[in-house]
Amino acid sequence: MKQIVVKPARTFGGAISIPGSKNSSLALMAAACLSDEPVTLKGIPKITDLDVFARIGEDIGLVIYRDEENTALLDPRGIRSAIVDPLRASSFRTAYYFIGALLAKYGKVSMGYPGGDDFVSRPIDQHVKALMAMGAKFVFHTDYYEVECAQLRGADIYFDTISSGATINAMLAAARAAGRTTLRQAARDPEVVDTAQLLVKMGAKIRGAGSDTITIEGVRHLRGCTYTAIPDRLIAGSFLIAAGATNGIVRVNDVIPEHLGSCLAKLREIGMDVEETDYSVTAYASGRLRPTRVRTAMYPGFPTDLQQPLTALLTRVPGTSLIADRIYPKRFQHVPQLNRMGANIDVRSGVARIRGGAPLRGTLVHASDVRAGICLLIAALTAEGTTSIAGVRHIERGYENIAASFRSLGADVTMRDTDDEGAYGFYANAGS
């Protein structure tokens, strides 16, 4: 069992280059399956979610070569089956992209239910609705479901709620469907735009990605190309938040500052100094920080994936801050763990009330999901004494070389292997 061991950061800061986005890479790899020729993707991070994707790919005949430079060559010409192992599918979130990517070509896909971070309720009804509108038939079994459609056809789809996953999945399915598909109340996330841009480079006809209405004219063939994933706005945001928590100065390089808009606005609002160039952002706190209110929303709103890291920063800010997560009202598993470290936070009806300023102390805590892990790591940098963070496998779903990247900014963070299952089990539940 791995643990991340964190000692207080006496000084924290420096410059760090941000890798390609996890959430984009997962969609881009799926999009590559739609091609009739090999596709080369650059900026694909070495994270466990992508390892699972690659294993599923191998199972179905997708050939993938990855190199040390984070380039992945995907050759979909050998795909011979669209039956995805249910266990593999349920060990991450986006196996459902294989439906959008394989249905047009293979007519039938068998798939396990999605995993990913567990915020209690993560429905896929909007994926089902969009694919059904295009002619797909679903049969749900206990551990897997089957989707069938001899010929997907374009449709006018009005999403009931804004979903980045459902928007991407529908776009994948529509790229080779017969006729025109219109997606209304579509997600505007950078990862949606990134996927559309790859598909367009492959020869798809897509207009409007980045707005709430996307139109796709289905085409019969898609070609190979070379494409680079956008930088990970969530990793970048986490490092900038860590700067605020530790009184450090951090510059994130190779980012698209526009993608971080709501995060940078919030950091400025609490009193941090934020400087932007075309490809970098520098953040630091030169004075006293102020408490704030945060309400998560779909892009361009404040991302749910950054509310947990921000909670760690707000425990350092004297006064009362409020965080409401409207996207995942139960995404607060990090709170009991922060309270174990001495924080004063209560959660009621999807709103965390953080009474900041109390000193934190290191202890053994458990990361229940990827961003909870980063939240605890940031908190640990500010705590007295040593913190051990269990649940590292969740963090590794989204962060490459997590300990080394924080070390490169001067933090004392190491990865330790322990087989102490008993202690792990006890502390995982304590305080919750």
Ligand X SMILES: C=C(OP(=O)(O)O)C(=O)O
Q: How far is CA 265 from CA 112, 275, 379, in A?
A: 39, 11, 22
Q: Contact between 305 and ligand UD1 (CB under 6 A)?
A: yes
3-state secondary structure (DSSP) of residue 7: strand
Strand 63-66 relative to strand 71-75, pairing: antiparallel
- Looking at the Cβ atoms of 135 and 165, the one nearer to ligand UD1 is 165
Q: Contact between 304 and ligand UD1 (CB under 6 A)?
A: yes
The binder of 157, among ligand X, ligand UD1, none, by C-beta within 5 to 8 A per type, is none
Strand 137-140 relative to strand 144-148, pairing: antiparallel
Q: Report the C-alpha gap between 271 and 274 in whole angstroms.
A: 9
Q: Report the C-alpha gap between 176 and 219 in whole angstroms.
A: 5
Do 240 and 259 touch, CB atoms closer than 8 A? no
The binder of 370, among ligand UD1, ligand X, none, by C-beta within 5 to 8 A per type, is ligand X
Bind-site residues: 22-23, 93, 122-126, 305, 327
Which residue's C-beta sits nearest to ligand X? Answer: 116
Among positions 33, 255, 327, 360, the unique one binding ligand UD1 when judged by CB under 6 A: 327
Q: Name the one residue in this structure whose structure tokens are 């997708």.
A: 62
| Alpha-helix residue ranges (DSSP H) falling in 254-318 | 261-269, 304-314
Minimum distance from CB of 78 to ligand UD1 (Å)?
26
Minimum distance from CB of 384 to ligand UD1 (Å)?
32
| Residues catalogued as catalytic | 117
Minimum distance from CB of 72 to ligand X (Å)?
18
Q: Report the C-alpha gap between 136 and 148 in whole angstroms.
A: 5
Bind-site residues for UDP-N-acetyl-alpha-D-glucosamine: 93, 122-126, 305, 327
The binder of 13, among ligand X, ligand UD1, none, by C-beta within 5 to 8 A per type, is none
Minimum distance from CB of 290 to ligand X (Å)?
26
Q: Is the sign of the CA dihedral 232, 238, 244, 249 positive or negative?
A: negative
Binding interface with ligand X (CB under 6 A): 93, 116-117, 305, 370-371, 398
Q: Which residues of 8-22 are buried (b: 16+ CB within 10 A; e: fewer)?
A: bbeebbeebebbbbb
The binder of 169, among ligand UD1, ligand X, none, by C-beta within 5 to 8 A per type, is none
Q: Contact between 193 and ligand UD1 (CB under 6 A)?
A: no
Beta bridge partners of 181: 216
User: Which residues contact ligand UD1 (rule: CB under 6 A)?
Assistant: 23, 26, 93-94, 122-127, 161, 163-166, 187, 191, 303-305, 327-328
